Chain A
């Protein structure tokens, strides 16, 4: 009796030890992956390039200073960082709200409405996902010129709002998983399409929709190619382009560039951590099937 108890506690101890070691290893891996970001953070508080590149690396600056952050927002001839931030926020907000409606409507039509040619059209929607917009820059250039939207913020919004096959597909798949009986009973009660959609279906697909908006938020916020191609005037730059232009055309040192990078990354990390719960639920618990 005594011996078996000993064995048991030994196993427990061993498990605890393994658990402990596993944690240390995984956290080391995670922190190593984040090392470049720590380097960026620390560089943004340093005074100049000499301090940034001095070796051995000083992870904690000796005399941390906020000068780079002040410099960033000081009026400067090449870019206006605070304006760029406003532009980025504006574009992200417009796209999030508008694409929510266009994608949810299309997803509902392709999953819960009957109309001629529905499934054929949907196949075209799916196939379009294999054609990345990054490869269609020439025709888009012509289309956007014809629409007269080049060098306005609207040019950044059109694609994600009106040609969002990914969002349509993702949300449609979730809508399909909602039991028909729930929708039928709503229809019995005389609910219109809009009521059914926003009162019953959208709340049930909350996790997928939030995941979609979260992923899209990161894509739009980080979009560098769009502004690079279509935006020419500096008062319409979004954050990624503004940082790039600042690095190319001004005498800002590495600390300033890193300060800009920190400010461009912080919002996205905060948003991600806030909504991580939903993201994990829809990616991890559901898994990707095929």
Chain B
């Protein structure tokens, strides 16, 4: 009896300690997903406040509506482009990380300098970025002209805009991932490099034959994290281009926002939920496929 009681007590204590997180995650994440799936099949809007009396079941109409929307096609193109560029980000971060993985004068300052773009608030970054690539007054265009190059009209074409979005992402992400790579590089035993050197392997060979395979777990982490970031960080893209030119640079998230809360549009929570359901599924697929295919290219030894 005493034993049973103490076991019950231990259980209760365990639940009590983890309760704040369990409750929050259950309500905000899991109940949220279920509710969102439910809403995606209905016509519910927030017109009458929290009134569910004239809610109607719509079947797959919301999904059909999203799939037939032109903006959705733009979002697919922009999002795919950003995800396909993630390995480039990973590679640049690795190169930067390897370059920084040795002794420097005032090393801490150097590392802080690389990391700072990552911790600046996005509104400030976008303000700077839009001023630097201003349509008429761009200082970058000025520099290019003085070097005898013909500057493009930034943000004028869909691909220009997408590339500028990517460059902003890269600029913000590279410092963070370089940090992570420095950690991984420190863990590589130096005798491997020494052995390779003795056998006459050059810097390039050593980088591709030793460094690249040995940091592959970190690369997996970087690729998953940054792919998910491109799916979830829609506010920067919306701030920078507001979907323009035309609606070419919508991403899934900003489209979701526009459907649900955008400007004077109707609060189409059903369509927005349908889109969100698809994106959450996609996020799940990206994460699991990356975990599944990792033994093909990730080296844990």
A interface, CB within 8 angstroms of B = 19, 22-23, 25-27, 29-31, 33-34, 36-37, 39-40, 43, 49, 52-53, 55-57, 101-103, 105-106, 108-110, 113-116, 118, 121, 124-125, 128, 130-143, 145-146, 158-159, 161-165, 168, 193, 218, 221-222, 224-225, 228-229, 239-241, 243-244, 247, 254, 257-258, 260-262, 264-265, 268-269, 272-273, 276, 280, 283-290
Identify which of A106, A130, A229, A289 contacts B261 (C-beta below 8 A).
A229
- The verdict on A140 contacting B32 (CB below 8 Å), with A110-B18, A224-B235 known, is yes
Closest beta carbon of chain B to A288's beta carbon, Å = 5
Q: Does B35 contact A (CB under 8 A)?
A: yes
CA distance A113 to B10 in the complex (A): 8
- The verdict on A265 contacting B24 (CB below 8 Å), with A128-B30, A139-B32, A225-B235 known, is no
User: What per-residue 1/0 map shows which CB atoms of B155-191 lie under 8 Å from chain A?
Assistant: 0000000000000000100110001101110110000
- The verdict on A134 contacting B128 (CB below 8 Å), with A143-B27, A162-B21, A268-B120 known, is no
A residues in contact with B118, CB < 8 Å = 218
Residues A288 and B28 in contact, CB atoms below 8 Å apart: no
- Main SS of chain A's interface residues? helix
A residues in contact with B15, CB < 8 Å = 109, 115
- Among B27, B119, B132, B174, max chain A CB count under 10 A is at B119
Residues B119 and A103 in contact, CB atoms below 8 Å apart: no
CA distance A29 to B131 in the complex (A): 22
CA distance A142 to B94 in the complex (A): 42
Residues B17 and A193 in contact, CB atoms below 8 Å apart: yes
Residues A109 and B14 in contact, CB atoms below 8 Å apart: yes
24 A-B pairs whose Cβ atoms sit less than 8 Å apart in the complex: A36-B125, A53-B131, A103-B21, A105-B18, A106-B17, A106-B20, A115-B14, A133-B29, A135-B252, A143-B28, A158-B24, A161-B20, A239-B121, A240-B124, A261-B124, A264-B124, A265-B120, A265-B121, A268-B121, A272-B116, A280-B111, A283-B180, A284-B179, A285-B186
Query: Which of B63-71, B75-83, B200-208, B272-280 contacts the other chain?
Result: B272-280
Number of interface residues, chain B, beta carbon within 8 A: 99
- The verdict on A165 contacting B131 (CB below 8 Å), with A30-B114, A139-B36, A276-B108 known, is no
**A-B contacts besides A125-B25, A228-B235, 18 pairs, CB < 8 Å:** A23-B104, A34-B113, A36-B132, A106-B20, A141-B261, A141-B269, A145-B46, A158-B24, A162-B24, A193-B13, A224-B121, A243-B124, A243-B127, A261-B123, A265-B121, A284-B179, A288-B183, A288-B218
CA distance A165 to B110 in the complex (A): 32
Identify which of B10, B146, B221 contacts A56 (C-beta below 8 A).
B146
Residues A128 and B29 in contact, CB atoms below 8 Å apart: yes
Among residues of B, the one whose C-beta sits closest to the C-beta of A104 is B17
CA distance A265 to B116 in the complex (A): 9
Among residues of B, the one whose C-beta sits closest to the C-beta of A287 is B183
Residues B113 and A285 in contact, CB atoms below 8 Å apart: no
Q: Does B129 contact A (CB under 8 A)?
A: yes
A residues in contact with B273, CB < 8 Å = 138-139
Identify which of A26, A124, A159, A164 contacts B110 (C-beta below 8 A).
A26
B residues in contact with A136, CB < 8 Å = 28-29, 32-33, 36, 276, 280
B residues in contact with A280, CB < 8 Å = 108, 111, 179
Identify which of A40, A135, A142 contacts B231 (C-beta below 8 A).
A135
Among residues of A, the one whose C-beta sits closest to the C-beta of B36 is A139
A residues in contact with B260, CB < 8 Å = 137-138, 141
A residues in contact with B105, CB < 8 Å = 23, 27
A residues in contact with B280, CB < 8 Å = 131, 135-136
Q: Does B211 contact A (CB under 8 A)?
A: no
Residues A130 and B287 in contact, CB atoms below 8 Å apart: yes
Work out how many contacts link A and B, with CB atoms closer than 8 A: 298
CA distance A260 to B128 in the complex (A): 11
Residues A128 and B122 in contact, CB atoms below 8 Å apart: no
CA distance A238 to B235 in the complex (A): 16
- The verdict on A116 contacting B123 (CB below 8 Å), with A135-B232, A284-B183 known, is no
Identify which of B20, B187, B228 contacts A102 (C-beta below 8 A).
B20
CA distance A148 to B11 in the complex (A): 33
CA distance A124 to B217 in the complex (A): 23
Closest beta carbon of chain A to B287's beta carbon, Å = 5
A residues in contact with B53, CB < 8 Å = none
Closest beta carbon of chain B to A2's beta carbon, Å = 28
Among residues of B, the one whose C-beta sits closest to the C-beta of A57 is B139
A residues in contact with B123, CB < 8 Å = 224, 240-241, 243-244, 261, 264
Residues A30 and B131 in contact, CB atoms below 8 Å apart: no
Residues B17 and A244 in contact, CB atoms below 8 Å apart: no
Residues B142 and A55 in contact, CB atoms below 8 Å apart: yes
Residues A132 and B231 in contact, CB atoms below 8 Å apart: yes
